[in-house]
Amino acid sequence: MIIMTRALPFLMLPSLLLAVDPIDDAKNPAQNDSTPIPKIAPLVKWTFEGKEPGELKGKASIEATGPQTPIYPGFPKGNKAAVFTGKDSYIQVRETELPEVNLRFSQGETLTLEAWVNPEELANGRYVYLIGKGRNKAEGFTSENQNWALRLKGEEGEARPCFLFRSRNKAGKEDYHRWVSKEGFAPGSGWHHIAVTYTFGKPETMKAYVDGKKTVGGVWDMAGKTTEGPVTDADDVMIGTGYGGGAGNTLKGALDEIALYREALPEVVLAQRYQFRPPPPAIDAKKLPKGKVLVQICEDGVPAKNSWPALPPQPTETYTTQVFGIFEVPQKYVETGVRGDRAIPYLLRAASVVKLPAGKHRLLLRGRSASHLHIDGKLLLDVPFAVPDSGGHGRVADQEKYLDLGPDFRFAPPGTQEQWTEFETQGGEHLFVLEQMVGGLTGNAKKRPETGETVVAISYQGSENWELLSPGKSKVPYNDAGWAVYEKEQRAWLNQINAERRAQVRAQHDGYWKTRRAAAAKWLAGVPAVKVPAPVKGFPANNAVDHFLNAKIASVSAQYSAAKKDGVNFYKEVLPILEANCFSCHQGSKTKGDLKLDSLADALKGGESDGPAILPGKPEKSSLIARVTSTDEDFIMPPKGHPLKAEQIDVIQRWIREGAAWPEMNVDRIEITDLSDDLSFLRRVTLDTVGVVPTLEEIAAFTADSSKDKRAKVIDRLLADSRWADKWMGYWQDVLAENPNILNPTLNNTGPFRWYLH
């Protein structure tokens, strides 16, 4: 691999190129890149290591906080960078400080701008300047004379490269032209390299690069594309800010290695600019469980898009396993015991101390997405971020692209990346740390939040066979048969651990449910027992539920009949008056004056100032009558529209005088059904619960049962039948699909929602 070293302070010298080898490429040919890199000199470059053109302004400073080895191997320790505070901080460079350098560009000329940048934060919709010429509101220049500028835009939680210039046509008309990349990096995730190249007058030549990779494209907005050249003048160059230096345009963060070129840097050059080696995770080998693999799930501090964290994130969840083989992690549950979604992406880390025999062994690393394997703190294998292709229309990979490392070797599953190398040891214990980025984005394409087949396998010297790396006595052959057995065992363990975790989380709400159950038991204790009549032939006496429901209907029917006998029928005569004139302000949550009239209890309670709205037997002392009969326009109800008619008031007065009978429900048209016989009951309850008719065996067992609670036992059996969940899950999916927020917004997707309902 080839990276650029620090440029010397003398600005016109070309960049030096140096070959480095942080990973043993000779042992890992798949990572060796021998592409020749052309040497291209910049017009000007700021490294902030010595005396360079420009003057620090405001709170800008030069500090030894730039990208540094070993995380950024192209830079020395103590490397300096320019630091900006987000306001009143910039570097001003006048043309007179660069007498031999022409920073003006015209029609047909090509410009490349590149920089290392570490923004602490960048709000969505905000633009900050990294470097730009013009538009500085300087004396003698217009405030809109943007020759060119490299900026960052905050969009969708990313910092995205942005190129800006102002064109001027032959007629003197000027327009802004702004291009924003569709891809960037996460602010606060450390140092990143960005670059843009453009040939003025040729909008199709616009390109941007993030961390050495060409972006997926961008958008020309404002005045759109143009074939015109840029404004050119002698205005100053500003670093870290622009357009007058306001807080909205100033970088909060740091810059390094800013360079300008009068040509388009080749992609092969820019691809080698960004060299990043994440620091080894802070794993204390002495604290690792002996003979086991410690697995950590890190959900905090992980960049959202194709980028490793600048600092190793801390675990939010841990568990142990026997070998370095992961295809699924335990489920996450929220406090109510419902499956929760993990952060996407999250970092999966597995670590263990493994004792190896002396010799030269082969090691294999596999993962669906970006993965690292560290041994004793040194990076040995590195799987890159994958470009996802979740559709079924792409070309199947050629067989020769799959590794074939032995007669019993397991080929990589679809979508799995892999690397291997040889590792020589004198024997003894070694600290192995595997890390993988799970889920996230590459470009604008989403990556599936699954681990896939994530493994570290080893083939010992003198053997052609492979096995999963293990710190203990567990030996899992890494071939098709061995993996199938291992996966079956692990799935059983996952089912068990998921059940235990769910139970632990649900236990946090035990107190609440115990209170609810105690309240229900107290209520039931105060409800008189239902008298079950003597059995009638064909209708057994063990149907207490039917009797309970029918007794309730019968009692309400009696209320209703009594109300009709006494005179005014509430549901036919009184309720329509209340619905038409009162409920718009005094029902449900609409309670003007704290008065509700949609139940007898609320009407008896009254509002905040008038006392009881209804006093049974005494209409003259009922505030409802006082309100509807008043002639005071500030007191009468309803306050708008027509007052109640005399005959309507008379109905309400007579109803109150007769005792204000208000039955619990309108049962005028309800008929109490006859009790069902045994076979009818069994057929109905089986269809209602599991969706099919009872089998001959179920019919025979039910008719042979002579116990008094035979129907209750059938109901319990059917509710415990998995077919009951299968049948009713579809119904509740349809009902709740109209408003998934009834449950939880995170449940509105196929997986967790279905499992929650089931």
Dump pLDDT digits (tens) for 258-308.
Answer: 999 999 999 999 999 999 887 777 888 999 999 999 999 999 888 777 678
CA–CA separation, 457 and 459 (whole Å): 7
Is 222 strand, coil or helix? strand
pLDDT at 20: 26
369 CB-contact burial (10 Å; exposed 0-12 / middle 13-18 / buried 19+): buried
Q: Which amino acid, one-letter code, is at 100?
A: E
pLDDT at 247: 85
- Per-residue pLDDT of 204-227, as tens digits, reads 999 999 999 888 899 999 889 999
The answer on pLDDT for 448 being more than 80 is no
Is 322 strand, coil or helix? coil
pLDDT at 3: 27
Choose the weakest-confidence range: 79-88, 123-132, 570-579, 695-704.
570-579
CA–CA separation, 413 and 325 (whole Å): 14
CA–CA separation, 77 and 92 (whole Å): 27
HSE-CB of 597 using CA atoms within 13 angstroms: 22
Strand order in the sheet with 158-168: 55-58, 89-93, 237-239, 127-133, 148-155, 158-168, 174-181, 218-222
The answer on pLDDT for 11 being more than 50 is no
With left for phi above 0 and alpha for psi between -120 and 50, is residue 188 left, alpha or beta?
A: left
pLDDT at 60: 95
Q: Which of 303, 396, 391 is nearest to 347 (CA)?
A: 303
With left for phi above 0 and alpha for psi between -120 and 50, is residue 516 left, alpha or beta?
A: alpha
CA–CA separation, 315 and 298 (whole Å): 4
User: Which residues are CB-neighbours of 277 under 8 A, at least 6 positions away?
Assistant: 22, 70, 71, 72, 73, 379
In this structure, what DSSP letter does residue 399 have?
Answer: G
pLDDT at 758: 79
Higher pLDDT, 224 or 33: 224
Q: Which amino acid, one-letter code, is at 384?
A: P
Residues 368/415, Cβ–Cβ less than 8 Å: yes
CA–CA separation, 88 and 244 (whole Å): 10
The answer on pLDDT for 177 being more than 90 is yes
pLDDT at 15: 26
pLDDT at 210: 93
The answer on pLDDT for 47 being more than 70 is yes
Choose the weakest-confidence range: 29-43, 310-324, 444-458, 686-700.
29-43
Q: State the pLDDT confidence band at 25, using cuts at 50, 70 and 90.
A: very low
194 CB-contact burial (10 Å; exposed 0-12 / middle 13-18 / buried 19+): buried
Choose the weakest-confidence range: 230-239, 449-458, 665-674.
665-674
Euclidean distance between the first and the last CA atom of the chain, given in angstroms as a whole number: 53
For the residues 59-71, what does the mean pLDDT come to? 94
pTM: 0.59
CA–CA separation, 47 and 20 (whole Å): 20
Choose the weakest-confidence range: 11-15, 410-414, 711-715, 745-749.
11-15
Q: State the pLDDT confidence band at 750, using cuts at 50, 70 and 90.
A: low
520 CB-contact burial (10 Å; exposed 0-12 / middle 13-18 / buried 19+): exposed
Higher pLDDT, 19 or 751: 751
CA–CA separation, 605 and 597 (whole Å): 10
Most confident residue range from 534-548, 631-645, 736-750: 631-645
Most confident residue range from 234-238, 389-393, 599-603: 234-238
The answer on pLDDT for 360 being more than 50 is yes
Q: State the pLDDT confidence band at 197, using cuts at 50, 70 and 90.
A: very high
Report residue 152: phi and psi, to 5°: -120, 140
3-state secondary structure string, 163-181?
A: EEEEEECCCCCEEEEEEEE
Choose the weakest-confidence range: 515-529, 684-698, 699-713.
515-529
pLDDT at 442: 57
107 CB-contact burial (10 Å; exposed 0-12 / middle 13-18 / buried 19+): middle
Average pLDDT, the chain: 84
The answer on pLDDT for 19 being more than 70 is no
Higher pLDDT, 99 or 25: 99
For the residues 307-328, what does the mean pLDDT come to? 91
DSSP E strand stretches across 293-388: 293-298, 317-321, 325-326, 346-356, 359-367, 371-375, 378-383
Cα angle value 555/557/561 (rounded, 5°): 120
User: Which residues are CB-neighbours of 456 under 8 A, at least 6 positions away?
Assistant: 324, 350, 363, 364, 365, 373, 432, 434, 468, 469
pLDDT at 748: 47
CA–CA separation, 757 and 423 (whole Å): 50
The answer on pLDDT for 402 being more than 70 is yes
Residues 718/690, Cβ–Cβ less than 8 Å: yes
Most confident residue range from 33-42, 284-293, 337-346, 724-733: 284-293
Q: How many other C-beta atoms lie within 10 A of the C-beta of residue 733?
A: 14
Kindly state the percentage of the chain with pLDDT values over 70. Answer: 85
The answer on pLDDT for 1 being more than 80 is no
The answer on pLDDT for 388 being more than 80 is no
For the residues 613-626, what does the mean pLDDT come to? 89
- Per-residue pLDDT of 118-160, as tens digits, reads 999 999 999 999 999 999 888 888 888 999 999 999 998 889 9
In this structure, what DSSP letter does residue 88 have?
Answer: S
